[in-house]
Amino acid sequence: MKKFILIVSLAGSIQAFSQTKCDIQNHYGDFIKVRKENYNGKEYLNRGFVKVDSQYCFANYINNNLHRLRFLTFSFISPNYYYQNDLINIEDSLLQSAFVSVLQQDTVFNAVMQELAEKVIDKTVPKDTITMNTLLNTAVKFFYVYKITEDGHYAGKVCEVANGLAETETERKPLIEAFALASIIEHYTDKEYNMYNELGHAITELYKLNLGVDKKERLLRAKGAVFMQMFYNQKLRDMLLYEYERQKEYLPFVLDKNF
């Protein structure tokens, strides 16, 4: 069972939805679709997302934030439902309804979606104000050196699962994390910002220093060195500011650009 400290209230999260004007919880199945897939001989559940009809109160948010939802539905669901035998063994015709039922009872995921509904859709709760340093502290954790190869090379990637957040953050910020990752992916290989190239440059810089004899210690230092380089990376900062201005109506926070 995954445990998170969230910047949301988990207690009574399911009941609290009844006080929210826009009812997302009872419509998860309209935009989240699940299916069985096989990887290396092992079955697992994969999820996809579809746009919804404009009649729904949450349509504008859902239809413009599918990348963020993908991250939230993987990283902030209590247990890892995608590999649970009791769901994988359900016949295909019943799988979707069974998965949605489990999701609707998940206190972690419902708390995140409640915060989203209150601050962005219904606007019944004021948005938080965060600093640029806070946003960068979250964003850099997705630029992750995950191993040192047998021939001594650093391997890095941007990933919704393999990242530095669980290793470094005692308080998780789901909606800030989702914004940061979706923005990075959006500009991963584009001409203007190209986060792929920026990650590659940061890793190349590691070879200028001897970071350790012990392989585990060397990897740990390499992770931190890349985080720090990306924290001061101007392209990352500019890209996040650009995406904030472009998407701020969908965000649960106001960005203080001076800090």
pLDDT in tens, 216-244: 999 999 999 999 999 999 999 999 999 99
pLDDT in tens, 6-48: 444 334 443 444 444 889 999 999 999 988 888 888 888 888 8
The burial class, CB within 10 Å (0-12 / 13-18 / 19+), for 49 is middle
Give the pLDDT of residue 217.
97
Residue with tokens 């290989």: 189
* Stretch among 58-62, 201-205, 220-224 having the lowest mean pLDDT: 58-62
pLDDT of 191 > 60? The answer is yes
Of residues 187 and 77, the one with the higher pLDDT is 187
Q: Which pLDDT band, with edges at 50, 70 and 90, does 181 fall under?
A: very high
CA distance 234 to 227: 13
Give the pLDDT of residue 17.
41
Give the pLDDT of residue 15.
40
Please state, in angstroms and as integers, the Cα–Cα distance from residue 194 to each residue in 70, 158, 184, 206, following that order.
Answer: 22, 12, 9, 19
pLDDT of 102 > 90? The answer is no
pLDDT in tens, 153-179: 999 999 988 999 999 999 999 999 999
pLDDT in tens, 125-155: 999 999 999 999 999 999 999 999 999 999 9
How many CB atoms are located within 10 Å of the residue 75 CB? 22
Give the pLDDT of residue 11.
40
Q: What percent of the chain has pLDDT over 90?
A: 67
Give the pLDDT of residue 10.
38
Type of residue found at 214: D
HSE at residue 133, side-chain half, CA atoms within 13 A, is 2
Of the candidates 255, 241, 246, which has an alpha carbon nearest to the alpha carbon of residue 64? 246
CA distance 170 to 139: 15
> How many residues would you count in the chain?
259
**pTM given for the model:** 0.85
pLDDT in tens, 120-129: 999 999 999 9
Please state, in angstroms and as integers, the Cα–Cα distance from residue 190 to each residue in 172, 194, 235, 256, following that order.
Answer: 29, 5, 12, 26
pLDDT of 71 > 70? The answer is yes
Give the pLDDT of residue 21.
81
DSSP assignment string, 221-247: HHHHHHHHHHHT-HHHHHHHHHHHHHH
In what helix (H) or strand (E) does residue 259 lie, and over which residues does it extend?
Answer: none
CA distance 189 to 204: 18
The neighbouring-strand residues paired with 49 are 32
Give the pLDDT of residue 45.
83
